[in-house]
């Protein structure tokens, strides 16, 4: 047997020959072994039986506590049709809250066409497009939309929100790159999340900032050309931004798209039926070659005054969504009566293009009156049917500013004007906008009604802000 003095000598010899790094590593390993041994001896055993586990478990509430004065608990009830006027909580109001830009929700011919379709097909399809949910009016609507948008093909979705939220992840996947404006709407944000792509946000409508990001990525690509060759790059923008009412610089976007070889998706939800000689949107308004935009999406819930949305482009691109667009594949198809209403709206677009000029004139009239408001500063393009009003005196607390705007909008309803404070999911928005009152323009509003609306808004804001101190 080896005696103790020999072992000690050997250890001493090893220590003499070891470097400081080796000694430190050996000491850490020894301490780790000691800690593990003593930790196992001193750690209390967790309960193992089901009864013990359940006894120690404290469940979290399914729903967090909601303040009694939360706006969601004070629902505003609409009675009757929603047109240029609307009855809210029993009060007849001038309507500058809903997105019925062309006033087609009040069109009797469209109503009668929808009623006729209801009697023929019933109230719904009860199935996705690929599972007995495709009705002949769906195919007719897609054909009419493709023809109207001067595209090879169009695909129709059941909801405007799910249209762009499904289209983005149908093409862009993990590892791809997406360059997007920081003020895009929530539907686009959800599409970006679903794509699991790498997202680059550029400053709102700032083309210099976008080009800076593109140049930076170009430098990164040169370091790893093999990876860059396999990576797809996308550019996503709104024609008119819902969160600002401002128009995107489409010619500049198209220029950067071509220079840096990007696939370009444009959401024309607000501009469809608003901009362009024939109401086709910003592409027509700017006289841009439609082939420069790979995919156009739009909602039918604004100017067309129905439900649903569509994507239009080349057959090669659009057809892919019939197998990969989640909202198309798994949602019940658009009720036939609403598809017929959209077809009838297109009939109005084509037979009476003067309605677009009339709407844009109303938008200009509203824009000219915005500077008259003493307590607000405005944002939105003169041709946009969406305008945002922000308090001139900015508050540090986001929630307090939102509360003041909610009070103003509620008081406006009591005085005969329907407006809304824009709602945002503060904790979920990528770049949460500042609280604002969102005004919408209806083609059928008269000069007197617009004057009355601004008089009410000025009076109410003066009253509410004075009482708030």
Across 3-17, 35-49, 221-235, 303-317, least confident range:
35-49
| The predicted structure's pLDDT at residue 68 | 79
Sign of CA dihedral 410, 416, 418, 421: negative
pLDDT average, residue stretch 80-109: 93
What are the boundaries of each domain within the chain? Answer: 77-99+363-468, 108-351
Reply yes or no on whether the pLDDT at 347 is more than 60. yes
- The encoded tokens of residue 221 equal 């690509």
Q: Is 462 helix (H, G, I), strand (E, B) or coil?
A: helix
Tens of pLDDT, residue by residue over 237-264, are 999 999 999 999 999 999 999 999 999 9
| Confidence band of 37 (pLDDT split at 50, 70, 90) | confident
% the chain with pLDDT above 70: 94
| The predicted structure's pLDDT at residue 39 | 66
Tens of pLDDT, residue by residue over 304-344, are 999 999 999 999 999 999 988 899 888 889 999 999 999 99
- The encoded tokens of residue 304 equal 């067309």
Angle at 89 between CA 86 and CA 94, to 5 degrees: 30
Across 93-97, 145-149, 282-286, 329-333, least confident range:
329-333
d(CA 458, CA 333): 44
pLDDT average, residue stretch 420-445: 92
Per the model's pLDDT, the better-predicted residue between 7 and 90 turns out to be 90
| The predicted structure's pLDDT at residue 414 | 93
The pairing of beta strand 376-379 with beta strand 386-391: antiparallel
pLDDT average, residue stretch 428-447: 93
Angle at 383 between CA 286 and CA 338, to 5 degrees: 90
**CA nearest neighbour of 306 among 97, 445, 86, 100:** 100
**CA nearest neighbour of 362 among 81, 107, 96, 105:** 96
Reply yes or no on whether the pLDDT at 43 is more than 60. no
Tens of pLDDT, residue by residue over 172-230, are 999 999 999 999 999 999 999 999 999 999 999 999 999 999 999 999 998 988 888 88
Reply yes or no on whether the pLDDT at 10 is more than 90. no
| The predicted structure's pLDDT at residue 126 | 80
Across 4-8, 68-72, 90-94, 367-371, least confident range:
4-8
d(CA 168, CA 184): 13
Reply yes or no on whether the pLDDT at 459 is more than 90. yes
| Confidence band of 21 (pLDDT split at 50, 70, 90) | confident
Reply yes or no on whether the pLDDT at 113 is more than 70. yes
Cα-Cα-Cα-Cα dihedral of 457, 458, 461, 467, to 10°?
-140
Count Cβ atoms below 10 Å from residue 446 Cβ, excluding itself: 11
Tens of pLDDT, residue by residue over 352-393, are 999 999 999 999 999 999 999 999 999 999 999 999 999 998
| Confidence band of 30 (pLDDT split at 50, 70, 90) | confident
Distance of CA 349 to the CA centre of its chain: 26
Average pLDDT, the chain: 90
**CA nearest neighbour of 243 among 208, 280, 270, 206:** 270
d(CA 84, CA 102): 10
Q: CB–CB of 195/176 below 8 Å?
A: yes
Task: Give the bridge partners for 439, in sequence order.
Answer: 387
pLDDT average, residue stretch 96-119: 94
| The predicted structure's pLDDT at residue 442 | 96
| The predicted structure's pLDDT at residue 57 | 83
Task: Give the bridge partners for 157, in sequence order.
Answer: 309
d(CA 301, CA 160): 7
Q: Do domains 77-99+363-468 and 108-351 have the same CATH topology?
A: no
| Confidence band of 7 (pLDDT split at 50, 70, 90) | low
Exposed (0-12), middle (13-18) or buried (19+): which is 221, by Cβ within 10 Å? middle
d(CA 128, CA 215): 43
The CATH-assigned architecture of domain 108-351 is 3-Layer(aba) Sandwich (3.40)
DSSP string for residues in 260-286: TT-EEEEE-TTTTTTSSTTS--HHHHT
**For residue 429, what are the CA distances in angstroms to 182, 184, 187, 297, 425?**
10, 10, 10, 21, 6
Q: Phi and psi for 249 in degrees, rounded to 5?
A: -80, 75
CB neighbour list of residue 443: distance below 8 Å, 6 or more residues apart: 101, 102, 103, 355, 358, 359, 362
Q: Is 243 helix (H, G, I), strand (E, B) or coil?
A: coil
Reply yes or no on whether the pLDDT at 42 is more than 60. no
| Confidence band of 446 (pLDDT split at 50, 70, 90) | very high
Tens of pLDDT, residue by residue over 158-175, are 999 999 999 999 999 999
The pairing of beta strand 309-313 with beta strand 295-299: antiparallel
**What's the fold here for domain 77-99+363-468?**
3.90.1150
Q: Locate the DSSP E strands across 281-375.
A: 295-299, 309-313
Q: CB–CB of 155/311 below 8 Å?
A: yes
| The predicted structure's pLDDT at residue 338 | 95
Count Cβ atoms below 10 Å from residue 414 Cβ, excluding itself: 13
**CA nearest neighbour of 299 among 107, 141, 156:** 156
Distance of CA 326 to the CA centre of its chain: 16
Across 131-145, 178-192, 293-307, 393-407, least confident range:
393-407
| The predicted structure's pLDDT at residue 443 | 96
């Amino acid at each position: 047997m080896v005696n103790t003095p020999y072992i000690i000598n050997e250890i001493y010899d090893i220590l003499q020959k070891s470097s400081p790094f080796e000694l430190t590593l050996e000491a850490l390993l020894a301490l780790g072994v000691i800690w593990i041994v003593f930790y196992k001896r001193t750690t209390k055993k967790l309960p193992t039986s089901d009864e013990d586990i359940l006894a120690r478990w404290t469940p979290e509430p399914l729903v967090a506590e909601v303040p009694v004065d939360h706006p969601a608990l004070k629902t505003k009830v609409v009675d009757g049709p929603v047109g240029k006027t609307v009855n809210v909580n029993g009060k007849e109001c001038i309507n500058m809250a809903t997105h019925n830009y062309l006033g087609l929700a009040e069109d009797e011919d469209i109503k009668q066409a929808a009623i006729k379709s209801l009697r023929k097909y019933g109230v719904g399809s009860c199935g996705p497009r690929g599972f007995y949910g495709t009705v002949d009016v769906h195919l007719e609507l897609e054909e009419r939309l493709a023809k109207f948008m001067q595209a090879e093909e169009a695909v129709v979705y059941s909801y405007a929100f799910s249209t762009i939220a499904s289209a983005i992840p149908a093409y862009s996947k993990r590892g791809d790159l997406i360059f997007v404006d920081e003020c895009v709407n929530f539907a686009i944000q959800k599409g970006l999340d679903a794509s699991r792509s790498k997202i680059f946000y550029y400053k709102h409508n700032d083309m210099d900032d976008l080009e800076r990001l593109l140049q930076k990525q170009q430098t990164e690509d040169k370091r790893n050309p093999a990876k860059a060759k396999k990576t797809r790059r996308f550019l996503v923008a709104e024609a008119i931004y819902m969160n600002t009412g401002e128009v995107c610089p489409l010619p500049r976007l198209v220029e950067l798209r071509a220079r840096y070889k990007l696939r370009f998706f444009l959401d024309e939800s607000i501009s469809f039926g608003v901009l362009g000689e024939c109401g086709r949107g910003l592409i027509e308004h700017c006289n841009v070659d439609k082939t420069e935009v790979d995919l156009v999406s739009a909602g039918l819930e604004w100017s067309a005054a129905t439900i649903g949305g569509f994507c239009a482009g080349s057959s090669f691109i659009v057809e892919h969504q019939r197998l990969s667009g989640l909202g198309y594949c798994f949602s019940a198809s658009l009720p036939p009566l609403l598809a017929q209403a959209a077809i009838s709206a297109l009939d109005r677009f084509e037979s009476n293009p003067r309605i677009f000029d009339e709407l844009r004139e109303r938008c200009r009239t509203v824009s000219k009156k915005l500077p008259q408001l003493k307590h607000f500063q405005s944002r939105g393009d003169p041709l946009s049917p969406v305008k945002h009003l922000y308090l001139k005196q900015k508050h540090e607390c986001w929630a307090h500013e939102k509360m003041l705007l909610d009070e103003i909008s509620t008081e406006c309803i009591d005085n005969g004007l329907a407006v809304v404070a824009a709602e945002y999911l503060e904790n979920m928005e990528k770049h949460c906008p500042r609280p604002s009152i969102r005004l919408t323009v209806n083609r059928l509003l008269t000069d007197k009604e617009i004057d009355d609306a601004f008089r009410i808004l000025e009076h109410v804001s003066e009253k509410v802000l004075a009482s708030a101190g």
